[in-house]
Amino acid sequence: MIRMLSAVAVSGCVAAGLAPVVQAQGLPGLVIFSGVERENQLSYRLDYNGRPFQTDRYRLRISRQKMRSDVYEFTVTYPDTYQGTFDEERIELRVKGESVPLNEVIWNRETREITIYPTEPVAAGSRVEIVLSNVRNPRNGGTFYFNALVRATGDVPLRRYVGTWIIGIGRE
């Protein structure tokens, strides 16, 4: 009986030692006290888990409910505390899962915003994903509030706030 208990204990320790390391999935998770109303929180995904000072890919999503009219300009703003870098050549706009052609992408480091101009306006009610590839995460982790702003066709030429991505870097 004691031999059997010893064998079970040893095999349990070995199995626990061989268990694969679980990685963070790079998803937003539950945010309770963010200061951003729940209906204004947008979903996102970090393909490489948001490790500080590593290369990553951000998938910033805008739901079809937020796309109330045709949009000809998308802007992503980020805080001055975010010290990561972006690759303008590796920014993509996906609509309903398909990449769409872009006229121009402008990363303005001084105003801390990325502006994306699709060749044709994105239709109202479309599911949109802004893909930022080859991003260098900031050296210091933290929680960063990225905002989505759009300009709609036929609208007053002011940017309209769509929502906020609450991005966590270094939360593994």
Asked if the model's pLDDT at residue 110 lies above 50, the reply is yes
Lowest mean pLDDT, pick from 78-87, 90-99, 154-163: 154-163
Domains located in the chain, CATH noted: 2-169 (2.60.40.1290)
pTM for the model stands at 0.81
Q: Dihedrals φ, ψ of 133, to 5°?
A: -100, 160
Find the mean pLDDT for residues 115-143: 98
Specify the pLDDT at position 154: 85
Find the mean pLDDT for residues 137-147: 97
Specify the pLDDT at position 13: 44
Specify the pLDDT at position 18: 37
Q: How far is CA 96 from CA 16, 29, 42, 142, 144, in A?
A: 42, 23, 16, 31, 26
Specify the pLDDT at position 22: 33
pLDDT tens, 35-63? 899 999 999 999 999 999 999 999 999 99
Specify the pLDDT at position 44: 98
124: closest CA among 58, 63, 40? 63
Q: How far apart are CA 60 and CA 143, in angstroms?
A: 15
Asked if the model's pLDDT at residue 139 lies above 80, the reply is yes
Find the mean pLDDT for residues 17-29: 43
Burial category of 162 from C-beta neighbours within 10 Å (exposed 0-12, middle 13-18, buried 19 and up)? buried
Look at 34 and 58; give whichever has higher pLDDT: 58
Specify the pLDDT at position 7: 47
Average pLDDT of the chain is 86
Look at 112 and 154; give whichever has higher pLDDT: 112
